[in-house]
Amino acid sequence: MSKKKYDLVVIGGGPGGYVAAIRASQLGLNTALVEYENLGGVCLNWGCIPTKALLKTAEVYRHIKNAEKYGLKVSEVEYDLDKIVGRSRNIAGQLSTGVTGLLKKNNVEVIKGFGRLLGDGRINVARDQASSFDFSAENIIIASGARARVLSGLEPDGELIWTYKEAMTPDIMPKKLLVVGSGAIGIEFASFYNTLGAEVTVIEVLPHILPAEDIEISELARKLFEKDGIDFITKAKLTSFKKKKETLTALINIDEKAHELDFDRAIMAVGIQGNHENLGLENTMVKVEKGHIVTDLWNATAETGVYAIGDIVGPPWLAHKASHEGIICVERIAGKKKTHPLDKNKIPGCTYSYPQIASVGYTEAQAIEKGFDIKVGRFPFVGNGKAIALGEPEGLIKTIFDASNGELLGAHMIGAEVTELIQGYSIGMTLETTEAEIIETVFPHPTLSEMMHESVLNAYERAIHY
């Protein structure tokens, strides 16, 4: 093993790393993947997939509780928390096993252990404190991912103060839950626990929840979440916790006044930070700024032959962004001529709460700030027959166009299944579509997708049903 040399070694087996390794092998590169925990990374094992399993359970539970509006009679609805968690963990395990199979199928050698760069293309892999070995590679991709950000003095303890891991494997259903942070992760957990009966309060230091979203969508989201029972405190700063045996008190500054609020549990969802420590970067020219590895458009670092992809290189911290970076990076290494750098403005973002939220491209404020003369279209769910038939009449689809040439600049949605609808606009942006092509496209009836058409029509004063 120590004498073996690879064309490419990927450090980290998350959605960026394992996809990069598979694509590299497809292109004929002798490839190895180093991973010290579970294949699939945080996304598959502790993020994207298991949280969606939990949220699906919450959705089914919500529908059963509201069965009467569909003409059904159901009584004594209960849930089994252990089985809910068990289903989520089983799904994560199933998919991790699937990644193992994909790597084997594509002849990627998986090396179990913690990878560390030694410089000059050399890598050390430690399997434990007493066992390690070295090998080398022409090219190295760092896909080490990220972990939950920890605030000084507010560190999770795994009991009263949870990270995403404890929040996904709860031993109790809190009666009163505090969620710190209103980004996608915080909102998804707030939605899950609220649906299952917890009294949820979300605090956010900024003036608006979901601060990355278009302000109109953010404000509508807050209105709908509050209608569903979630409490929000914005422009608030958590300063400390007072822990008791089974509960805790949160000290929160609101409008420069100190408040004490009691909860059973708290979930810290204040962002993530890159895993750049202990990678041996000091043995290379690789630069780290603000906790992330610095790369160019092709994900190359300052060290020749060393690349970095995914969460470790910065936002947006999304699995699909990491996967695409991995493919672009590998195709560049392999010398494919038609490779294009990733346009981060065309990466869709999704929040799988109730209601769902999805977006791609510029918000209205960003488009105006960049100097575009814009046309904005809107279409509400209440005007769509399929949404009404589904019992999901609350939501909005918003589209933003360059008034000078009809270019689709951004799209923002809230409502049922918008995380599935957003890809339509993503494809349109990739194809550099204008309003003309979308208007001329025939959308099937009755579908939620018709609202995408109507929103574009509305931007050009041609809406039929609004």
Q: Where are the alpha helices (DSSP H) in 6-47?
A: 17-26, 41-46
Report yes or no: 401 and 374 within 8 Å, Cβ to Cβ. yes
Closest CA to 375 of 405, 402, 408, 412: 402
CA–CA distance, 422 with 351 (Å, rounded to integer): 11
Q: State the greatest distance between any 2 C-alpha atoms of the chain, in Å, as a whole number.
A: 71
Cβ neighbors of 170 (< 8 A, separation 6 or more) are: 81, 85, 162, 265
| Cβ partners under 8 Å of residue 138, min gap 6 | 5, 6, 7, 8, 121, 305
Cα–Cα distance for residue pair 299/193, rounded to 1 Å: 38
Note whether 327 and 388 are within 8 A (CB). no
Q: Judge whether 122 and 136 are in contact, CB under 8 Å.
A: yes
State the amino acid at position 177 in one-letter form: L
**Cα–Cα dist 426/315, whole Å:** 18
- In the DSSP assignment, the letter for residue 3 is T
By the 8 A CB rule, do 274 and 287 touch?
A: no
User: How far is the C-alpha of 187 from the C-alpha of 166, rounded, in Å?
Assistant: 16
Q: Where are the alpha helices (DSSP H) in 302-363?
A: 319-333
What is the rounded distance in angstroms from the CA atom of residue 11 to the CA atom of residue 7? 13
Q: Cα(417)–Cα(387) distance, rounded to whole angstroms?
A: 10
Q: Is 63 a catalytic residue?
A: no
Distance CA 254, CA 205 (A): 9
Sign of the Cα torsion 314, 315, 321, 325 reads negative
Instruction: Let me know how long the chain is.
Output: 466
Query: From CA 206, how far away is CA 233, in angstroms rounded?
Result: 10
Which candidate in 63, 320, 445, 465 is catalytic?
445
The residues, any chain, with a CB within 8 Å of residue 75's CB and separated by 6 or more, are none
Query: For residue 373, with 0-12 CB atoms within 10 Å meaning exposed, 13-18 middle and 19 or more buried, which class applies?
Result: exposed
What pairing do the DSSP bridges indicate for beta strands 396-402 and 408-415? antiparallel
Catalytic residue numbers read 445
